[in-house]
Amino acid sequence: MTLRIGVIGTGAIGQEHIERLHNKLNGSTVVAVNDINQVQAEGIATKLTPQARVHASGQALIDNPDVDAVVVTSWGPTHEEFVLASIKAGKPVFCEKPLATTAEACLNIVNAEVASGRHLVQVGFMRRYDKSYRLLKEQIDNGNLGAPLMVHCAHRNPSVPDVYTGDMAITDSFPHEIDVLRWLLNDDYVSAQVIMPRKTRHTRADLDDPHMILLETAKGVRIDVEVFVNCPYGYDIQCQVVGEDGIGYLPEPMSVLTRKDARLSHEILQDWKLRFIESYDVELQEWIDSVKAGEVRGPTAWDGYFASVTADACVEAKHSGRIVPIEIGARPAFYDRISSNPSA
């Protein structure tokens, strides 16, 4: 059986996912698309999926009986509406991160999914599917590094679009670290602190950049993450886990070493699309397969909620200058079977 997918949001990542779901991965086809920018949606459908129906609204796409499963790649503030509507329609839904832009909205989704009695929601935390993170996790899980003590990370983007405003470094970029580090360490966060270095001249007047975010975990691991979204040299994701017995480094993306023009150098990637291209493929292939098998098994709505609560604490820490406790209620037993995370 071919899984018939409807995609809401035909912007940057929407186009990437449409292409892979329709032309690259096994067992799926894109039968419907929607974007608030109808002209763009029509253009993308013509270019990538000529047979797909272009719907006037996300709700109409979800209601289309030919759509078996939904992919939400629209702006963050629209996610809650489309994920809740998909749950209501009983359709599996893959939602790009963040699951929603407030913790309350994420909790609404958790409650709706639990009430539905079916695992329908997967969040687009693709780093869990990245080969380099999986190798690093193996080193932690097999005890080779000893107990983790500290983690040093950097999330660097060369630039961000104009729609990237306010605290999105924390609410849009940093959620990748929030999720992947929790998964990597098999641990939860208990507090957050944000320290603001002097502002780079490469950022806009209205955008703070960079941020230095400090997290403390339940097991006592200390994490520092630099989020620097106007880093002129390129897109660079770094992670170094310091354990009692050794240090594990996230492998660098493969690139050829060249000797040229009196320089010995490696290329540095320029965007997330290339850095995580294989992870998105693995993530969505596993999602397709799991939907066809009857139950999604990737990062859950609870993981999305956890990320949102953590991001909120970081935003509060940034604006108050305080160390903010991270408190989250008990995870519903509904998620025990799916999640590999501890989470109270």
Which residues of the chain form contacts with ligand NAI (CB under 6 A)? 8-14, 34-37, 40, 58, 73-76, 78, 96-97, 124, 126, 163, 172, 272, 276
> In terms of CB distance, is 68 or 283 closer to ligand ISE?
283
State both tokens at 323. 């160390």
Return the residues of window 174-193 that contact ligand ISE according to CB under 6 A: 176
Q: How far apart are CA 249 and CA 246, in angstroms?
A: 10
Question: What is the sign, positive or negative, of the torsion defined by CA atoms of 298, 301, 304, 305?
Answer: negative
Rounded to the nearest 5 degrees, what angle is found at the Cα of 227, between the Cα atoms of 13 and 219? 105
Return the half-sphere exposure (C-beta side, CA atoms, 13 A cut-off) of residue 132.
16
- State in angstroms the smallest separation of the CB of 313 from ligand ISE: 19
Which residue has its beta carbon closest to ligand NAI?
A: 11
Measured CA distances, 338 to 121, 223, 234 (Å): 11, 26, 36
Q: How many CB atoms lie within 10 A of CB 19?
A: 16
Taken as a whole, the chain contains a residue count of 344
12 binds, among ligand NAI, ligand ISE, none (CB under 5 to 8 A by kind): ligand NAI
> In terms of CB distance, is 37 or 340 closer to ligand NAI?
37
- State in angstroms the smallest separation of the CB of 231 from ligand NAI: 16
> In terms of CB distance, is 236 or 312 closer to ligand ISE?
236
Q: Is 249 helix (H, G, I), strand (E, B) or coil?
A: strand
Phi then psi dihedrals of residue 120, to 5 deg: -115, -20
- State in angstroms the smallest separation of the CB of 193 from ligand ISE: 21
> In terms of CB distance, is 3 or 126 closer to ligand ISE?
126
Q: How far apart are CA 219 and CA 28, in angstroms?
A: 41
> In terms of CB distance, is 64 or 132 closer to ligand ISE?
132
Return the residues of window 268-297 that contact ligand ISE according to CB under 6 A: 272
Measured CA distances, 168 to 76, 176, 194, 260, 305 (Å): 10, 12, 14, 39, 17
Binding mask 154-173 for ligand ISE (x = CB under 6 A): ---x--x-----------xx
> In terms of CB distance, is 11 or 243 closer to ligand NAI?
11
> In terms of CB distance, is 106 or 221 closer to ligand NAI?
106
Q: How many CB atoms lie within 10 A of CB 187?
A: 20
> In terms of CB distance, is 17 or 331 closer to ligand NAI?
17
State both tokens at 72. 């939400």
The helix (run of H) or strand (run of E) holding residue 245 is: none
106 binds, among ligand NAI, ligand ISE, none (CB under 5 to 8 A by kind): none
9 binds, among ligand NAI, ligand ISE, none (CB under 5 to 8 A by kind): ligand NAI
- State in angstroms the smallest separation of the CB of 242 from ligand NAI: 26
163 binds, among ligand NAI, ligand ISE, none (CB under 5 to 8 A by kind): ligand NAI
- State in angstroms the smallest separation of the CB of 260 from ligand NAI: 32
* Angle, helix 12-19 to helix 277-293, in steps of 10 degrees: 60
188 binds, among ligand ISE, ligand NAI, none (CB under 5 to 8 A by kind): none
Q: How far apart are CA 286 and CA 32, in angstroms?
A: 21
The helix (run of H) or strand (run of E) holding residue 49 is: none
**What are the residues binding ligand ISE (CB under 6 A)?**
157, 160, 172-173, 176, 272
